[in-house]
Structure 1
């Protein structure tokens, strides 16, 4: 099994801008402001940082030093056209980080651009609708067989070779494409819609893909949040699901020098995402039942939550990367479909352990 690690960091900043490249009537041509979030993913070389385990802290500090130059600024004073794409490029140029794979600008909670080292722009926009459904093929007594409802969320992901352009795909273009789907899905009983007779998250993601790809050729993934902590992705070929949990745990870093605060016992409320990839069960309409994921992972969760991590058997150290790989290894014993673990110590700052395809990054 081939394993890889990505370290992640994020940093917020408050800034104003005008985006003059947009049409005259576009609202973003006017002076306005955002609570921006910058985030990076890096395949860091061995021995990067002052000591093993310091990668997240060091990467975060370097990103914060860059975003401090943008905080409470008019961004047009820093670069002529401060689109999300150009802000990502500016930060990429400022960061002296080896192995930088992707840098993203999340300009609101519902939109952003992730730019990779090849100038490929991954644009995403989030939408919401309130609907009812039930799953007709589940076993007797399964809670999802009863009529119930969700506040669903959908993220449309679109990839495009930005080629150095100031703007790749305008968010308003995605809004216009999504509008008829919102009308079709919002305040509806999903089972009554043709093609959604068994409306699992996976089926809904595939249903949307089939109808969106023709009008949005750049579409790369459709993400469906069934709840705030679980959902499905589909890219036209592969189905992926994720389950999110939080852990309240204590730790210290064995490799940290004695005068470093991380050498002392401290703690985090971790955000943990388990990602699973599996073929679609054509009868059940899912890859793996979310309930099964929770039940099978529960013994590992109980060993982590409200426990000192430095006492875990087989865990070399408690840095985010070591812990993510430990969780991946243990989870695959009962959930072999798990091929990625995202573990964040704080918002957007942590590590991703990958044993298969990477898949889309979810907003933070």
Structure 2
């Protein structure tokens, strides 16, 4: 596919709700509350923001203004069935932003729903288990060849067309499917489980897929976080891994108008997530070694961390979009399987640059 550049933003709000369409006895039928997070991803046209380079801040401001109506409110007074999916519809309808690709509502850290303009819903829920493993076929001296452990996290994703439905796959349905798998994996050595003799993130994601997909046809991806900064997505046919890095940088937005504080020297704690798609190495059980990704990115990281971004050679501007484009030019030759870069200047707010087959899939 051709290159696509999106801007992303996130805005929190606190609210109460009752979801009366759920079965009798369900706790969410009672009045309760959440710390919600609204998210938007948009392919913004040139000239939409007040100035070039101000797109991320303008999108964040628009989203924050939209959800301010919901903050510290009873959501049932705004819409009769305030599911995550209907809240996403409400936000989309009230958000005066062109080029919106998806709107998401995250009702807890562990679950949420994203909705596109075709009424395609992406529902997800996160789970965790604690386990040990070692990778038997890695080169001698590789740290993963030693027995070690992780607090693994797994996200089950389900995609379906909503039409006029108030909600998609129930989060409780995902939890029920996960329960026996948690029992099989929690406090275990993964190497001892049949089918996980090479227990990489990729092999674990595929192992979970084979067990869940027959029970949940809407399953679209399984995500495995091996650490907080690295993991794998699997959709039954394709593996996509990612590796995150954080860097601390200063900048000036020189395209901002005179008097705008963003023209002044300031800084951000950035997050960059590199996504790679590659075939599985059947011997090693992985597509690309996370350590190799980190090592390849190291010379780029050293130019970014604790530096002034405006001093980077050939950088057209220190805003998230231009920085993502600069990163692609620097990193892609070093990591040929790279097909997407997420760059956030503040949590949930920044740019997504993608050129792979799956485009901007997987908002979580």
TM over 0.5: yes
Q: Please give the alpha-carbon distance, in whole angstroms, between the structure 1 residues aligned to 2:137 and 2:359.
A: 31
Contact 1:209–1:222, Cα closer than 8 Å, also in 2: yes
Contact 1:221–1:360, Cα closer than 8 Å, also in 2: no
Unaligned residue ranges in structure 1 (runs of 5+): none
1:190 — aligned with what?
190
> 5 Å matches for 1:71-90?
71-90=71-90
2:203 — aligned with what?
203
1:91 — aligned with what?
91
Answering whether residue 183 of structure 2 is matched by residue 162 of structure 1, we say no
1:282 — aligned with what?
282
1:263 — aligned with what?
263
Q: Please give the alpha-carbon distance, in whole angstroms, between the structure 2 residues aligned to 1:165 and 1:241.
A: 33
Cα offset, 1:359, TM superposition: 5.2
Q: What per-residue deviation string (whole Å, max 9, x for no partner) do you get for residues 130-156 of structure 1?
A: 000000000111000000000000000
Q: Please give the alpha-carbon distance, in whole angstroms, between the structure 1 residues aligned to 2:306 and 2:361.
A: 30
1:348 — aligned with what?
348
Answering whether residue 23 of structure 2 is matched by residue 6 of structure 1, we say no
2:109 — aligned with what?
109
> 5 Å matches for 1:237-316?
237-316=237-316
Q: Please give the alpha-carbon distance, in whole angstroms, between the structure 2 residues aligned to 1:251 and 1:117.
A: 35
Answering whether residue 123 of structure 2 is matched by residue 123 of structure 1, we say yes
Q: Please give the alpha-carbon distance, in whole angstroms, between the structure 1 residues aligned to 2:164 and 2:119.
A: 7
Residues 1:269 and 1:113: Cα distance change in structure 2 (over 3 Å): same
2:171 — aligned with what?
171
Contact 1:18–1:28, Cα closer than 8 Å, also in 2: yes
Contact 2:233–2:240, Cα closer than 8 Å, also in 1: yes
* Aligned-partner SS, 2:302: helix
* Aligned-partner SS, 2:332: helix
Q: What per-residue deviation string (whole Å, max 9, x for no partner) do you get for residues 62-95 of structure 1?
A: 1011110000000001111100010000000000
Q: Please give the alpha-carbon distance, in whole angstroms, between the structure 2 residues aligned to 1:42 and 1:82.
A: 23
* Aligned-partner SS, 1:137: coil
Aligned length: 363
Runs in 1 of length 4+ with deviation above 3 angstroms? 359-363
Contact 2:221–2:233, Cα closer than 8 Å, also in 1: yes
Q: Please give the alpha-carbon distance, in whole angstroms, between the structure 2 residues aligned to 1:335 and 1:282.
A: 20
* Aligned-partner SS, 1:35: strand
Q: Please give the alpha-carbon distance, in whole angstroms, between the structure 1 residues aligned to 2:284 and 2:325.
A: 31
2:214 — aligned with what?
214
Q: Which moved more, 1:325-334 or 1:146-155?
A: 325-334
Cα offset, 1:361, TM superposition: 3.2
Q: Please give the alpha-carbon distance, in whole angstroms, between the structure 2 residues aligned to 1:56 and 1:164.
A: 32
CA RMSD between the two structures: 0.9
Q: Please give the alpha-carbon distance, in whole angstroms, between the structure 2 residues aligned to 1:359 and 1:68.
A: 27
* Aligned-partner SS, 1:101: strand
Contact 1:129–1:185, Cα closer than 8 Å, also in 2: yes
Q: Which moved more, 1:102-111 or 1:42-51?
A: 42-51
Q: Please give the alpha-carbon distance, in whole angstroms, between the structure 2 residues aligned to 1:361 and 1:259.
A: 38
- TM-score of the two chains, using structure 2 as the length reference: 0.98
1:358 — aligned with what?
359
Contact 1:315–1:326, Cα closer than 8 Å, also in 2: yes
Q: Please give the alpha-carbon distance, in whole angstroms, between the structure 1 residues aligned to 2:359 and 2:94.
A: 26
1:337 — aligned with what?
337
Contact 1:36–1:107, Cα closer than 8 Å, also in 2: yes
Q: Please give the alpha-carbon distance, in whole angstroms, between the structure 1 residues aligned to 2:165 and 2:259.
A: 47
Cα offset, 1:211, TM superposition: 1.2
Q: Please give the alpha-carbon distance, in whole angstroms, between the structure 1 residues aligned to 2:56 and 2:62.
A: 10
Q: Please give the alpha-carbon distance, in whole angstroms, between the structure 1 residues aligned to 2:219 and 2:133.
A: 26
* Aligned-partner SS, 1:175: helix
